[in-house]
Structure 1
Amino acid sequence: MSREVISDRQGIVLVVLFVMGSTLLMGTGGDAGKDSWIAIIVGIIIAFPILMIYAKILATFPGKDLFHILECVFGKFLGKCISILYTWLAFHLGVLVLRNFGEFVSTVSLLKTPMTVTIIGLAILCIWGVINGIEVLARWAQITLNILLVLVTLTILLLIPNMDINRIMPILSDGMKPIFRGAFSAFSFPFAETIMFCLVFSSLKDSKSPYKVYTGGLVIGGFVVLVTAFTEMLVLGEVNYTELFFPAYSAVSRIDIGDIIQRSEIIVSISFMGGGFIKICICLMGACKGIEKVFGLKDYRYIVVPVGLLMINLSNIIYNNVREMTQWAFNIWPYYAIVFQVILPIIILLVIQIRKKKFKGVGGCD
């Protein structure tokens, strides 16, 4: 099978949609209260050097994904052990995001429809997308992002009458400690979750592409997350933003222009699911590529369906309710994920630098 190649622009689009993913629905940085928008800015700043580590790892081995790089750097045994950890992370994150959107639809729309129906429907679409490959996903993402950005812009403009600057005043009233907690949460969810692209980005054009893709994706995606969070805070206030399960939906539901433009949250919510679709697809693809590498399979596409079905099963039992889901996302996930998002990547890059003479001039190992 010929190697898939995506442009830098397509890579950026994928990262942007991934970052937006479930973040637009659930919000982030809530630990900082009314200063959550400041926490998001700090989270973006903290994320930049970490994402450059991801880019450096990929740039050292052009045309290779993280699973191949791990075996090159650490040898087959240790490399496969670390690959198993990242395979689990990809699978687990895909399950969590799948459940996020299942809970969202069941909570705000299809109240009497079993959540399993929503999860199965979304998972089938993701299985189809992954089987078709990253080139197809990238082309679809380009169209979707344009539509999504237009809808986000229109929604913010329509919400202007509901905004009140006093809802974020006074700034820094609680000091910097809550901001650092919120920044850590925002860093982990969603910015550092882009470690997933190290698992699937073996299709970029050249060694400079990872830097362009990660930088562009972080700047654009981070800006969208920041603007939406700032808007939600101005519309909802601190209590509603931090306590509601889906603050974006609640904010959009307040749009009422002359009794003509109403109930627009349904259209916006459907559009937001485009980001969730890409995020689940990247996680599913990463998990399948990890299994392919660990077990020496010929093509990850052969196992997309069974892995997707396993995601469906686990997503139905992983939480008891939506409150448990939000508690995990904001209170446990950052500490659970830091090993995969920060500690292991730093160790990998250090080992690469120590052994760089072995890889210099060969673009990695075969």
Structure 2
Amino acid sequence: MTEEKMSSYQLGMIIISFFIGSALAINPAVIAKQDAWLAFLFGWGGGLILLWVAIKIAELHPKKSLVGILIDCFGRVLGKLIALVYGWYFIHLSAEVIRTYASYTTTVTYPETPLLFFSVSYSLVVIYSLKVGIETIGRISEVFVPFIILVVLFTFSASLSSMDISNFQPILSQGFLPPLTAGFTTMILPFGEFIIFLMVLPNLNHQNSFKKTSLLAYLIVGCILFIVVCRNLLVLGADMLARDIFPSHIVFRLIPGIDVAPLLDINLIMAGIVKTSICIYASAKLITEVFGLLNYRILLLPLTAFAVSLSMMVRGTVMEQVTVTMEIWPIYSIPFQIIIPLTLLLFSLFNRKNYNHNRT
């Protein structure tokens, strides 16, 4: 099978789309209320550290995927076992994304339509896109990212008359703990999920551009989401921002003179498709490498079907979904986003030091 390749620009657009993902619908920084902007900056900064860890690991293992890196560091048996655990995590993440977008659609747009209908509809698009190839996701992102930037800038400008600068006050009224806690959750959701791109890296045409592309994409997506957080806070105020499940939807509805809510729906659907596609692709490629299969495409349908089934089981009501997302998912993700990557980095640095010592 011909190896799929993508340009640095396409990878950057995919990273932006992936990070925007569910953060447009649910942003953990809002639990800090009037300090949501500060919590986001804390999370953004913490995510930059996790991004550096992932980039450094990739640099120490050129042209290798996460599976190859795990095998290099932990050996063939243990490395493959840990890889399979990551495969579960990627599928679980895809199920969470599917459920988030299906819940959003049935809550604010089509409340009479069954949840399963939207879950299956999203998944069919994901399967078709991946069947064509990962470069298709890159082309989708090339169109989507400029569109979302224009929408964010437009809605920010259109909401200026409804903004109240006093919604930023009082700053740190309850100390640093609430924004730090919300910042940690923001670091995990979505920035810590960058580890998944170690499964995409081998598809990059020019491997040496991975670092620059990732950092630039991270900077852009951070700016986009920071504008969204500030816009929602200035328009809705701290209490309503923290209480409402989908604050961006309320802001779009409050824009005077024009109904722009469908633009948010389009953005969320496109972002959800890209994020789910990357999760399914990463898990399929991971399983293919672990078991030595020839074609990852044979796994797309069963893995996506499993993700849809899991998405229908992982949550009850929308409120329960938000609660688990904010409180349980960050703790659950710590081994995958922090502990194992840091261990990989330490092992990689140690092995390189021993290699250089032996050469001398």
Deviation at 1:12, TM superposition (A): 1.4
Amino acid across the alignment from 1:344 = I
- Residues 40 and 226 of structure 2 are in contact (CA less than 8 Å); yes or no, is this contact kept in structure 1? yes
Instruction: Note if 1:306 corresponds to 2:302.
Output: yes
Partners of 2:166 and 2:153 lie apart in 1 by 22
Deviation at 1:5, TM superposition (A): 2.2
CA separation of 1:101/1:237 partners in 2, compared to 1, >3 Å: closer, same or farther? same
Residue in structure 1 matched with residue 28 of structure 2 by the alignment: 28
Q: Greater CA deviation, 52-61 or 111-120?
A: 52-61
The structure in which a higher percent of residues are helix is 2
Partners of 2:58 and 2:355 lie apart in 1 by 13
Cα-Cα RMSD? 1.5
Unaligned runs of at least 5 residues, structure 2: none
- Residues 253 and 265 of structure 1 are in contact (CA less than 8 Å); yes or no, is this contact kept in structure 2? yes
Partners of 1:359 and 1:335 lie apart in 2 by 36
Residue in structure 2 matched with residue 231 of structure 1 by the alignment: 231
Partners of 1:210 and 1:82 lie apart in 2 by 24
Partners of 1:336 and 1:180 lie apart in 2 by 18
Residue in structure 1 matched with residue 189 of structure 2 by the alignment: 189
Match runs of 1:212-231 below 5 Å: 212-231=212-231
Partners of 2:303 and 2:329 lie apart in 1 by 22
Residue in structure 1 matched with residue 168 of structure 2 by the alignment: 168
Residue in structure 2 matched with residue 364 of structure 1 by the alignment: none
TM-score, normalization by structure 1: 0.94
Candidates 253, 277, 289, aligned match of 1:293: 289
Partners of 2:185 and 2:30 lie apart in 1 by 8
Deviation at 1:7, TM superposition (A): 2.0
Amino acid across the alignment from 1:271 = N
Instruction: Note if 1:209 corresponds to 2:200.
Output: no
Residue in structure 1 matched with residue 74 of structure 2 by the alignment: 74
Residue in structure 2 matched with residue 256 of structure 1 by the alignment: 256
- Residues 58 and 207 of structure 1 are in contact (CA less than 8 Å); yes or no, is this contact kept in structure 2? no
Partners of 2:48 and 2:220 lie apart in 1 by 13
Partners of 1:180 and 1:7 lie apart in 2 by 37
Instruction: Note if 1:316 corresponds to 2:312.
Output: yes
Amino acid across the alignment from 1:281 = S
Deviation at 1:357, TM superposition (A): 5.7
Amino acid across the alignment from 1:167 = N
Aligned residues: 356
Moved segments of 4+, more than 6 Å: none
Partners of 2:186 and 2:21 lie apart in 1 by 13
Residue in structure 2 matched with residue 353 of structure 1 by the alignment: 349
- Residues 8 and 206 of structure 2 are in contact (CA less than 8 Å); yes or no, is this contact kept in structure 1? no
CA separation of 1:194/1:337 partners in 2, compared to 1, >3 Å: closer, same or farther? same
Residue in structure 1 matched with residue 199 of structure 2 by the alignment: 199
1:64 partner SS: coil
Deviation at 1:268, TM superposition (A): 2.1
TM-score, normalization by structure 2: 0.95
Amino acid across the alignment from 1:138 = G
- Residues 60 and 207 of structure 1 are in contact (CA less than 8 Å); yes or no, is this contact kept in structure 2? no
Partners of 2:200 and 2:206 lie apart in 1 by 15
Deviation at 1:119, TM superposition (A): 0.5
Q: Percent identity?
A: 29
CA separation of 1:297/1:358 partners in 2, compared to 1, >3 Å: closer, same or farther? farther
- Residues 201 and 207 of structure 2 are in contact (CA less than 8 Å); yes or no, is this contact kept in structure 1? no
Residue in structure 2 matched with residue 49 of structure 1 by the alignment: 49
- Residues 59 and 207 of structure 1 are in contact (CA less than 8 Å); yes or no, is this contact kept in structure 2? no
Residue in structure 2 matched with residue 104 of structure 1 by the alignment: 104
Residue in structure 2 matched with residue 147 of structure 1 by the alignment: 147
Partners of 1:186 and 1:39 lie apart in 2 by 8
Q: Greater CA deviation, 207-216 or 292-301?
A: 207-216
1:48 partner SS: helix
Residue in structure 2 matched with residue 363 of structure 1 by the alignment: none
Partners of 2:117 and 2:260 lie apart in 1 by 24
Residue in structure 1 matched with residue 95 of structure 2 by the alignment: 95
Amino acid across the alignment from 2:109 = S
Q: Greater CA deviation, 28-37 or 178-187?
A: 28-37
Instruction: Note if 1:268 corresponds to 2:228.
Output: no
Q: For residues 252-285 of structure 1, give each alpha carbon's deviation from its aligned partner in whole angstroms, at most 9, with x where no partner exists.
A: 110113xxx1x21122222232111111111011
Residue in structure 2 matched with residue 330 of structure 1 by the alignment: 326
Partners of 2:36 and 2:226 lie apart in 1 by 9
CA separation of 1:79/1:170 partners in 2, compared to 1, >3 Å: closer, same or farther? same
Deviation at 1:359, TM superposition (A): 7.1
